[in-house]
Amino acid sequence: MALQAASLVSSAFTIPKEGKSSASSKDSSLFGVSFSDHLKADFSSSGLRCKREFSHRAGAVRAQTAATTTPAVNKAAPEGKKTLRKGCVVITGASSGLGLATAKALAETGKWHVIMACRDFLKAERAAKSAGIAKENYTIMHLDLASLDSVRQFVDNFRRSGRPLDVLVCNAAVYLPTAKEPTFTAEGFELSVGTNHLGHFLLSRLLLDDLQKSDYPLRRHIIVGSITGNTNTLAGNVPPKANLGDLRGLAGGLNGLNSSAMIDGGDFDGAKAYKDSKVCNMLTMQEFHRRYHEDTGITFASLYPGCIATTGLFREHIPLFRILFPPFQKYITKGFVSEDESGKRLAQVVSDPSLTKSGVYWSWNKDSASFENQLSQEASDTDKARKVWEVSEKLVGLA
């Protein structure tokens, strides 16, 4: 799909060259990035290789180009067993966009109780109400991923609620494309990586025990990834490209003082920080799979839900971007997906008995059929996944 869109875009859509008048080229350009010649160069070289890059790793994430009905291969989890109770799913960032739509889709089935793990209780309550989610199908619990204390507090509160944990969905994210300077989490990590990756990393590590204890026939841990973190796609080649480098900034704590605020040690770039955080999300999912799937039977998965161009994710972008981005994705790239449809997709990864396979990065084709997609070389690099894991556990106080 990305390659089809590439030709479509190159013939039907030309981007005006950057104006140089503003101090921040990011602020003045149509789509918020300075890209014209740079992008063309990227597309004609390594970025748009037709031959897919193969991962060094044995087996976990395999490429398939056609839609597939995935056979159940999970030995440990008795997924065929009759479900006697509602499943309990924690969804971070369920107060808007994909998280809210997923909560709605799952709650509507009557088979799931959704824990909406949100930083703004009132906003989440209003969102649940206006989405029409029935009161008995959800509980809102406070979680601010930009504070590791809050993550630990959430885990305590959740345990005190006495509810089992059957599925954990790490969905929340921030995207700060126009920020000129980094901002930081409570512990002083750059905000995008701190929230999207480190907050979720601690949450996932702590809640792994709870997932293991669940007696539900289906136990899953899902981390939302994205196409823009994958440099084996057209979207992933729009500058600035994701690149974790040798992780020197991450190892230094991303504090912008004695270390860079960027994972690769480079100058701060909010759009890149987001894409880097998505690479961390996808690497983390695979590292969980390698470390825990066989022993626990838990299914670990990531996904690209499609381009949900209308969500709050773009709230920090310039107004013109927010106006033009949805029609651009709808009519030019054809990558657009509605919030409702994206919610159904993620709900499918949560609950569809045929999506049991662990270690998979799910995507959907134009007929909205799911398929196992291939991650970029960096996002499937086993060595990098292990290093990101090891550095992250130090940063969040687990090692």
**Which partner from the list ligand NDP, ligand PMR, none does 174 bind, CB cut-off 5 to 8 Å by kind?**
ligand NDP
- By CB under 6 A, is residue 282 in contact with ligand PMR? no
Residue of 138, 158, 189, 274 that binds ligand PMR (CB under 6 A): 274
List the single partner that 9 binds among ligand PMR, ligand NDP, none, CB under 5 to 8 Å by kind: ligand PMR
- List all residues 6 or more positions away from 199 whose beta carbon is below 8 Å from its beta carbon: 145, 146, 147, 148, 151, 172, 185
Identify which range of 57-65, 89-97, 132-140, 386-394 contacts ligand NDP by CB under 6 A: 89-97
Whole-number Å distance between alpha carbons of 179 and 190 = 12
Quote the longest CA-to-CA distance of the chain. Answer: 64
Determine how many CB atoms are found less than 10 A away from the CB of residue 244.
Answer: 25
Instruction: Specify the pairing of strand 370-373 against strand 360-364.
Output: antiparallel
User: Considering only 20-28, 58-66, 97-105, 350-358, which stretch makes contact with ligand NDP by CB under 6 A?
Assistant: 97-105
Strand ordering across the sheet containing 87-92: 138-142, 112-118, 87-92, 167-170, 220-224, 299-303, 360-364, 370-373
Q: Per rule CB under 6 A, is residue 283 in the interface with ligand NDP?
A: no
Task: Determine if 263 is a binding residue for ligand NDP (CB under 6 A).
Answer: no
* 341, containing H or E segment: helix 339-351
Element (H, E) at 379: none
Burial of 194 (0-12, 13-18, 19+ CB in 10 A): buried
Residues 287-316 that bind ligand PMR (CB under 6 A): 307
333 binds, among ligand NDP, ligand PMR, none (CB under 5 to 8 A by kind): ligand PMR
Contact residues for ligand PMR (CB under 6 A)?
2, 5, 9, 15, 31-33, 175, 177, 226-228, 234-235, 238, 271, 274-275, 307, 333, 335
Interface residues with ligand NDP (CB under 6 A) are 92-93, 95-99, 118-120, 123, 143-146, 171-174, 195, 224, 226, 304-305, 307-309, 311-313
